[in-house]
Amino acid sequence: MEQKEKDYLVIEDIHKSFYGVEVLKGVSFSAAAGEVHGLLGGNGAGKSTLMNILGGIYSKDSGRIFIDGKEANITDSKAAERAGIAFIHQELKLFGLRSVAENIMISNLPTKGPFHFVDDKKKNEIAKQYLDEVGLQVSPTTRLDELSIAEQQQVEIAKALSLNAKVLIFDEPTSSLTSRETNILFGIIRQLKKNGACIIYISHKSDEIFEICDKVSVLRNGENVGTRDTANTTNDELVSLIIGRKLDQYFPELPPAPGPEAETVLEVKGLVNKKLNGVSFALRKGEILGLFGLMGAGRSETARAIFGLDHLFSGEIYMEGSQVKISSPRKAMKTGISFLTENRREEGLVLNADIRKNLTFPILSRVSVPGIGCIRAKTEMSLVKEAFKRFLIKATGPEQRAATLSGGNQQKVVLSKWFMTDSKVLILDEPTRGVDIGAKAEIYQLITEMVEKGLSVILISCEESEMMGMCHRILVMRDGEIIGEFQRDETTQEELVGLCIGGKAV
Amino acid sequence: MSGLSKVRSVVFKNATPILLAIFAIFVVVKMPVFFTPDNLISLSSQGAIWGLAAIGMTMLIITGVTDVSVGSQIYLGGVITVRVFQATESMVLGLLCSILVCMAVSAFNGFAIVKVGLPSMITTLAVQQVCNGTASLIIGKDSVITMPDEFSVWGQTRVLGLPISAVLFLALFVVGCVVMNCTKFGRYVYAIGNNSDAMAASGVNVFRIREITFIITGILCGIAGTFNVSRIGGAQFNMGIQMEFSCMAAVVVGGTSMLGGSGNMIGTLLGVFVIAALDQLLRMFSVSVYLYNVFWGGIVLFTVSMDLLKKYQERHERELKNLAAQEDEQS
């Protein structure tokens, strides 16, 4: 209790449910003035819900919030502002076509005279003070959208200071900054800290947490599973807190690699087009084959060619021993090949449709009355419900719009969609990009389960650890050619990376 | 930037003013008759009517909504003025009733669009139909109501050589300018058009501000309605139709973006002059009414396209700038 009384911001036992689903299950943590407190956790861990409660966007079901020793009753965003809490949003909440000064001062514009006209001179003067405080050298009369994203973020910080904010919440502030801009931001944060601000820093990037934070708390499933001093913890410890188990259990145990005697499902010979210079390989039943390489090395291009998205100049494709001609994705799917593209939002999902529709797009013929095409809602729904259970999709229900799901859950929907097609070969292009660490582990688990049931997978990724952790066999590509082949245990991450940036072929 | 792309950039950003300048020179050189007092007075008395509504329309478009019901509100307000005058012989009462009715219509628009969340285009289009129909019902089967001379006093009296409506328009225009540029309310209107979520997060009652812009528009339409019937000396079927289009044309020609968030009153004043002048010019040439419509549609399409091109151009230049900055950093 001693410690808590010293802390500037104390959050005690916060509960919050949406539609009967408990999102926060009694979260407590506290942060002192002059402290940068990191907040880690997977998507859906409750970070943003908790922060929205602090910001007055949501109201809490129970629990208490103390600021500077006094209980704060935060009912709306105005109340949060009065309590001295300010958000620096991931997507900036600013007015692009207005001046910098106007942006900073919008909620307390100074006025003068009998008609209370806005006092622009005073407005610019005050704004200039706050700009100086964050070290941004621009005129207060500049139009905001003439600034870079990093500068706009500094304007948002200046705005928070103008509101007398003592608790500043940064929500993944570096996601669109360059490394130099990140350093400038960290300079500002250190300065704010020196001035006695209490800073909450939300991020996915653990190197940032270690660089800027004094303490870090990890949320998982709506609970605070641990607060550590960054000086006394390790990245591995944080990762295992986030995913709730040890790091070496992060990748699931793969089924044994099929031997050379195993049946070959897909074989390609001498694929050539604009980007490919003769790619040949064979995929065995129940195998996870990794395609590794830099961007533009021909990984995705190979997949696109096999799936009929890109035109082939020459080359042959064999499916279970017999040659097939794949001229379109439709043909590819008929032959039993599915493809999860790297552009989840553009090509993987119909964002405006609900989960149910997204799940059954490729299998509509299976859920509809043959010959008539009318969809049997019951059959469809039972399939969808099964998918929810089997593939661990976290959503309010089958009717939730895909656009409103977290990245990890969107990816699970796309994966389930292809799993349900009963394809023989599934090509996964960057299946865990933009997915938080908890969902990542779940996706790996799903892939493994499907492979155990006999699916063959081609996994494309630019993460070495994913290659090493998830593939039976790894092919390294460069300049549209396969320049190396490894069994899982035969290589190291260093060797893989060295090879694809121009080392010696094996 | 190369010379050509610099020229392109300047042309894109100022297409409308450039075109208007060419047009003005053409008129001055070719048509001295255009500048006779009679012609100018006729122009200003017409333009002032929908120009009043254009003041409110500017605010609405800056917040990001379009209101296509203003012409019909002017129609309805006018018809109500006529009926109230017939019953009470009082022009002032007629004006008040006209203002009240139009205010109520606009307040409804605002509530439906901002609070309920209906799309502004279809909502105001529907309200337009309701107002048109109601006004025509009130006129009755004769389709024209002719009024005694005292009814036309407001519409035909001159102050400083200008019709009262034109003087009123200029005065209210100045007020509008001050409101938009010097008051908190005006700043909020711009800010809402820029990013209404951010405005709400700043603790400002966005609904209230937006509702007020609607109500202001309603009041202005009410005033316009009364002066319109007084100028004509009675009411007739479908007077005021297409006024919303002149309004919108004036606002966009004046440089207010249909995308919301930017624009200004002075631009609208120029826009009202230009559209009223073009209107008069087309009449002087006795252009066929069909060609006339084609011409108006073309002008508005051109200006909104140019606005969009301007936005693209600006974004393109910003991206180039950012790219250059990133390269600097790497080198």
Give pLDDT, residue A302: 92
Structural domain includes residue B90? yes
Q: Say yes or no: B284 and B169 in one domain.
A: no
Helix (H) / strand (E) element for A503: namely: none
pLDDT over 50 at A107, yes or no? yes
* Over residues A186-208, mean pLDDT: 88
Please, what is the angle between helix B15-30 and helix B265-284, to 10°? 40
What distance in Å separates the CA atoms of residue B127 and residue B134, rounded to the nearest whole number? Answer: 10
Contact B272, B250 (CB under 8 A): yes
Q: Does residue B81 form part of some domain?
A: yes
B194/A102 touch (CB, cutoff 8 Å), yes or no: no
Average pLDDT over residues A473-495: 85
Query: What average pLDDT does range A27-41 have in this prediction?
Result: 90
Nearest by CB to residue B184, choosing from A77, A81, A118, is: A118
Higher pLDDT, A113 or B173: B173
Question: Is B195 in Cβ contact with A118 (below 8 Å)?
Answer: no
User: What pLDDT, on the 0 to 100 scale, is given for residue A2?
Assistant: 43
What CA–CA distance (Å, rounded) separates B33 from B41? Answer: 13
Confidence category of residue B168, pLDDT binned at 50, 70, 90: very high
Predicted confidence (pLDDT) per residue in B2-60, tens digit: 667 777 777 766 777 777 778 778 777 877 777 777 887 888 888 899 999 999 999 99
Chain A residue with CA closest to B262: the answer is A97
Q: How confident is the model at residue A199 (pLDDT cuts 50, 70, 90)?
A: very high
**Whether pLDDT at A366 is above 80:** no
pLDDT of B17 reads 73
Range scoring the smallest mean pLDDT among A153-162, B24-33, B230-239: B24-33
Question: How many angstroms separate the CA of residue A116 from the nearest CA in chain B?
Answer: 7
Q: How far apart are CA B249 and CA A79, in angstroms?
A: 43
Are residues B164 and B289 located together in one domain of the fold? Answer: no
**Are residues B73 and B193 located together in one domain of the fold?**
yes
- Pick the last residue of a domain from B210, B227, B244: B244
- Residue B223 pLDDT > 90: yes
Mean pLDDT check: name the lowest of A69-73, A96-100, A357-361, A423-427: A357-361
Q: Residue B171's CB: how many other CB atoms inside 10 A? A: 10
Q: Do B164 and B265 belong to one domain?
A: no
Shortest CA gap A238–chain B (Å)? 32
- Choosing from B185, B218, B244, the residue where a domain stops is B244
Model-level ipTM above the cut of 0.95? no
Question: pLDDT at position B131, please?
Answer: 95
| CB-based contacts of A190, cutoff 8 Å, min separation 6 | A212
Contact assessment for residue A93 and residue A67, using Cβ atoms and an 8 Å cutoff: no
Provide, rounded to the nearest whole percent, the portion of chain A with pLDDT above 70: 95
The answer on pLDDT for A1 being more than 80 is: no
> Is B167 a member of any domain?
yes
Q: Shortest CB distance from A81 goes to which of B182, B203, B329?
A: B203
From the CB of residue A436, how many other CB atoms can be counted at a distance below 10 Å?
20
Question: pTM surpassing 0.90?
Answer: no
The answer to whether residues B208 and B300 belong to one domain is no
Q: Are A446 and A412 in contact (CB under 8 A)?
A: yes
pLDDT digits (tens, 9 = 90+) for B63-120: 999 999 999 999 999 999 999 999 999 999 999 999 999 999 999 999 999 999 999 9
Task: Kindly state whether B187 is in contact with chain A, defined as any CB-CB distance less than 8 angstroms.
Answer: yes
Does residue A460 sit in helix, strand or coil? strand
Tell me the chain A residues in contact with residue B188 when contact means C-beta distances shorter than 8 Å: 106
Say whether both B267 and B220 belong to one domain: no
Q: How far apart are CA B108 and CA B128, in angstroms?
A: 12
Tally A–B CB contacts below 8 A: 64
pLDDT digits (tens, 9 = 90+) for B281-308: 887 777 787 888 888 888 888 888 888 8
Note whether residue B111 is domain-resident.
yes
Distance from CA of A369 to the nearest CA of B (A): 38
* A263/A451 Cα distance (integer angstroms): 14
Residue B44 lies in a domain: no
Helix B265-284 with B164-182: angle, nearest 10 deg: 150
Half-sphere exposure of B70 (CA within 13 A, CB side): 32
- For residue B240, being part of any structural domain is answered with yes
B327 touches chain A (CB under 8 A): no
Q: Which of B244, B270, B286 is the last residue of a domain?
A: B244
Q: Do B318 and A107 touch (CB under 8 A)?
A: no
Q: What is the mean pLDDT of chain B?
A: 87
3-state secondary structure of B208: helix
**Which residues of chain A make contact with B184, given a CB cutoff of 8 A?**
109, 111, 116, 118
A95/B190 touch (CB, cutoff 8 Å), yes or no: yes
Q: What span, in angstroms and rounded, lies between the C-alpha atoms of B120 and B64? A: 9
Q: Residue A4 pLDDT more than 60?
A: no
3-state helix, strand, coil in chain B (%, to 5): 80, 5, 15
pLDDT of residue A390: 79
Q: Is the domain of B119 the same as that of B194?
A: yes
Looking at residue A226, what is its pLDDT?
86
Residues B215 and B298 in one domain: no
B23 within domain boundaries: no
Do B273 and B237 belong to one domain?
A: no
Smallest CA–CA distance, residue A165 to chain B, in Å, is: 13
Contacts of B199 in chain A (CB under 8 A): 95, 106
Q: How distant, in Å, are the alpha carbons of A374, A420, B210 from that of A366?
A: 11, 10, 50
B182 to A111, B14, B179, B216, B260: CA distances (angstroms): 9, 26, 6, 17, 19
* B228 and B314 share one domain: no
pLDDT of residue B53: 95
Residue A245 is predicted with a pLDDT of: 63
- Nearest chain A residue to B184 by CA: give it: A118
Q: How far apart are CA A195 and CA A187, in angstroms?
A: 13
Q: What is d(CA A94, CA A410) in angstroms, rounded to the nearest whole number? A: 28
What one-character DSSP code corresponds to residue A353? Answer: S
Q: B1 in a domain, yes or no?
A: no
Please count the structural domains in chain B.
2
Looking at residue B123, its pLDDT comes to 95
Structural domain containing residue B288: 253-319
pLDDT at A505: 42
Same domain assignment for residues B89 and B194: yes
Burial degree of A335 (CB within 10 A; 0-12, 13-18, 19+): buried
Q: Is residue B210 located within the same domain as residue B305? A: no
| pLDDT cut 90: percent of chain B above it | 47
